[in-house]
Structure 1
């Protein structure tokens, strides 16, 4: 017999309340008493073919306070009042299932508890036999999703930079949907009923602030991001299979505790250990300094208990060099929890010793910044752009990893305009590309290459890179199903080398649109525009 169930505990003296049971599709909302200091959500029983249970805490205006997800490998969630952005009267917990079949039920105690005020002892036992007990607190098992007011974030008046992807005046409550993509779940925000199954996503929802990390010629891993209505994505992890350019939901593929929902984090792949290192980021007014590791061979998540100190950071850069992570810059909460200022420090994480340390660096160090890019080229890290409210940068710095010395790079050609949250990736041994970004007023769609041998900027124009976007992901992959041919002495020959392909995913345009499209073009095709 299927004994699956999802339960919540709203107080230390209260019995667990059953929210979902094994009877069909369900979505249930339950009011959180203002006196609750902690909410514990957990599952019990066999998951079967169920994928996950989405959970949200919302305020009285249905604006998400925080979100989480139960999976077969992560069966318990805990929220504490003092850690969340808002916890007042009117907070609701909403849970909904993906996969399997559940029906909406009124929450009921796992065991007999005290009779709640308002319940009588004159209920007809025969009439109620076989039914769930009446919930002692407010429950809405099905509701129409209304437009969500935009949460006002303190500190937004400190310059135009922090208004990225917020709704413009007159658009409050308007739906924000991905553009130029197949319809996504949530588009138009239709009313939900417990009898209408939710179609599974075939590709990620529109988002920005995510990470996309290639792990081999056939696979890249997408982690995190924030989408329409400033909500963290309910589908935070995907696997991109480049053989047919298909997406596969990946949150439940790996065992172990998955990272909490976040944006502005980094995901860095180490080809030697075949592990992905996820560091930092933010969620509402939480800032993270944790390190999560995904072993791509065993497909298991683990959390690092590192020695040394590193501050909570978001929108930093993270570069892998000789097995160590080099974290530079980023926004940090100062004072907590209001972000106020950027970092100019360099932190190094040694995975072998599980320790953070700060190296001694000399030279001309770049000003504090976040939303910048960093690219490792021939033993040097090239740092470009970024912002520190209200300034936006287009300068270039280089860190020599042998000498641990910073220097300002005097460039040739016309450089990109000041920007942050742009895409940057290495194209060859001496060339990297910068695409898009945000200049404090609008998203950008221009593309530049930088040659480290000549320190020269070159602007490129390509029709597939014409959409303004910022907070997007840009990577290169040597796709295994491509063959490179070239002409030598008038003869066409096949090469054992595989050409690199540029992939651009997601981002937003600062006009309320969040993208879920995947743009692909070969590096050769891009450079031919020069």
Structure 2
């Protein structure tokens, strides 16, 4: 079969892109088409996928066509120019020809379309082995391959023995708990359940007990058992897991494992408790230690570290990618404003439609800057904070604690793990250092922190009530397996 990309058009920014479908293939051309309800003021045409089956001198002509055969030429797509924007000029007489008639966007691939044979199982197996041998120096791109950033600092010795963290006072002993780890993902399932996925532990080994559930009603952990349509997520670190409460699905994306990098998407249906892997359209690079936020039903992935071909070191991303679950498609939006520098190991907190990005790392620099991405306008701006900011850090954790504030804790500053806590107010644009006896005192990085909602008996509305913290490491070879729960009102002295 031919290796040609998928073609889409977007006429209304409030609606998802429309895919053009094939009508009639021939020896030297392929025609695709899709209906259009009316002539828009603007029309964005773009492709997604492999162009290797179309010769470099081929052209893809795009027309706006009526049923009576009359048409308007919109533009041309090529392998070097894979998208364009057509604007309906008010001074043009051409749209009048098509007004009031049934319309379609018509696309004609003119030129040589090469045949692409399906890979044999042996070729696919060989490619899989080669992919697994790709180098992964995550997440410090400047370190040598033999160095382990999570267990070795400039002034420390490698300590391979894991020492479990001490459970926080008042949490109670648990007979069965996940092994100590960092770089895992922690995600709520419902008001009574949290799921733990992946991570790395002692001697930088990937955790064999990779998935657990926590019952927040009785504080008990239990291993996860789930059916699968296809494959379950392979063991990994630096990935993200995000719940869509509308569909009751958890989306797991990216991460890395030794020399292997991931850009796959896995979906857990929390009602059927069944995994499914996604063959997504569009392109997104393998990423680890990125952030992923759910907004209006789509996943917004920012930053992260990605592999580059040897002998170059790994690099960090400054790009924003969006995954549309409805069409299972990746795309990149046009983003304006003052863009942050590339980074990984940062945090992103979504308050209303504002995404606050703090800190991160791109060897040899740690950041403590704060940026706001307005997801309505798709515009970045750097926030000039009042007073002092927290010290530079990466692999810290953050959680929203009210409608107008979020909290960060711990992390790694390039030399040692941290244990300080700070709260940012979006109203006053001020950072405030927070000191309280209930907060974890052991330095930790690469752990997970999320908000557990409480329920108001009168209004039945969910609201942030508790912080849940699990795992992490001290960057000296010690990995934690403690589960800490904190009342937000207590640490804020409300």
TM over 0.5: yes
Q: Are the aligned partners of 1:218 and 1:479 in contact in 2 as well (CA < 8 Å)?
A: no
2:108 matched residue in structure 1: none
Partners in 2 of 1:421 and 1:434 — Cα distance?
11
Pick closer, same or farther for the CA change 1:235–1:311 going to 2, 3 Å: same
1:420-499 pair list within 5 angstroms: 420-463=394-437, 464-479=439-454
1:176 matched residue in structure 2: 162
> Which one of 110, 118, 130 corresponds to residue 82 of structure 1?
130
Q: Does 1:283 align with 2:257?
A: yes
What is the DSSP-based 3-state SS (H/G/I as helix, E as strand, rest coil) of the residue aligned with 1:349? strand
> Which one of 317, 323, 326 corresponds to residue 349 of structure 1?
323
1:174 is displaced (CA, Å) by 3.9
Q: Does 1:517 align with 2:492?
A: no
Partners in 2 of 1:440 and 1:237 — Cα distance?
29
Pick closer, same or farther for the CA change 1:354–1:154 going to 2, 3 Å: closer
2:62 matched residue in structure 1: none
2:228 matched residue in structure 1: 255
Structure 1: runs of 5 or more not aligned: 1-77, 87-150, 183-199, 485-493
Q: How many residues align?
A: 359
Partners in 1 of 2:159 and 2:248 — Cα distance?
44
What is the DSSP-based 3-state SS (H/G/I as helix, E as strand, rest coil) of the residue aligned with 2:479? coil
Pick closer, same or farther for the CA change 1:275–1:233 going to 2, 3 Å: same
What is the DSSP-based 3-state SS (H/G/I as helix, E as strand, rest coil) of the residue aligned with 2:491? helix
1:158 is displaced (CA, Å) by 6.5
Structure 2: runs of 5 or more not aligned: 1-124, 169-173
1:509 is displaced (CA, Å) by 0.3
Partners in 2 of 1:413 and 1:356 — Cα distance?
39
Give CA deviations for 1:420-457 in whole Å, capped at 9, x if unaligned: 00011111111100000000000000001111111111
Give CA deviations for 1:482-529 in whole Å, capped at 9, x if unaligned: x78xxxxxxxxx885666110111000011110010111111112118
1:508 matched residue in structure 2: 473
Q: Are the aligned partners of 1:499 and 1:522 in contact in 2 as well (CA < 8 Å)?
A: no
1:152 is displaced (CA, Å) by 13
Partners in 1 of 2:490 and 2:348 — Cα distance?
24
Q: Are the aligned partners of 1:156 and 1:162 in contact in 2 as well (CA < 8 Å)?
A: no
Partners in 2 of 1:336 and 1:474 — Cα distance?
35
Partners in 1 of 2:254 and 2:436 — Cα distance?
34
1:231-270 pair list within 5 angstroms: 231-250=205-224, 252-256=225-229, 257-270=231-244
CA RMSD of aligned residues (A): 2.9
1:258 is displaced (CA, Å) by 1.1
1:148-163 pair list within 5 angstroms: 157=143, 163=149
TM-score by length of 1: 0.63
1:216 is displaced (CA, Å) by 1.4
1:6-21 pair list within 5 angstroms: none
Pick closer, same or farther for the CA change 1:337–1:228 going to 2, 3 Å: farther
2:332 matched residue in structure 1: 358
Q: Are the aligned partners of 1:213 and 1:221 in contact in 2 as well (CA < 8 Å)?
A: yes
1:82 is displaced (CA, Å) by 2.9
1:383 is displaced (CA, Å) by 0.4
What is the DSSP-based 3-state SS (H/G/I as helix, E as strand, rest coil) of the residue aligned with 1:82? helix
Q: Are the aligned partners of 1:279 and 1:289 in contact in 2 as well (CA < 8 Å)?
A: yes
Q: Does 1:322 align with 2:296?
A: yes
Q: Are the aligned partners of 2:184 and 2:239 in contact in 1 as well (CA < 8 Å)?
A: yes
1:393 matched residue in structure 2: 367
Q: Are the aligned partners of 1:450 and 1:458 in contact in 2 as well (CA < 8 Å)?
A: yes
Pick closer, same or farther for the CA change 1:468–1:308 going to 2, 3 Å: same
Q: Are the aligned partners of 2:179 and 2:209 in contact in 1 as well (CA < 8 Å)?
A: yes
Q: Does 1:273 align with 2:238?
A: no
Q: Are the aligned partners of 1:329 and 1:346 in contact in 2 as well (CA < 8 Å)?
A: yes
1:3-82 pair list within 5 angstroms: 81-82=129-130
TM-score by length of 2: 0.68
Q: Are the aligned partners of 2:399 and 2:407 in contact in 1 as well (CA < 8 Å)?
A: yes
Partners in 1 of 2:334 and 2:450 — Cα distance?
31
Pick closer, same or farther for the CA change 1:244–1:179 going to 2, 3 Å: same
What is the DSSP-based 3-state SS (H/G/I as helix, E as strand, rest coil) of the residue aligned with 2:367? strand
Q: Are the aligned partners of 2:402 and 2:464 in contact in 1 as well (CA < 8 Å)?
A: no
Partners in 2 of 1:349 and 1:153 — Cα distance?
23
1:296 matched residue in structure 2: 270
1:327-346 pair list within 5 angstroms: 327-335=301-309, 339-346=313-320
Partners in 1 of 2:299 and 2:310 — Cα distance?
25
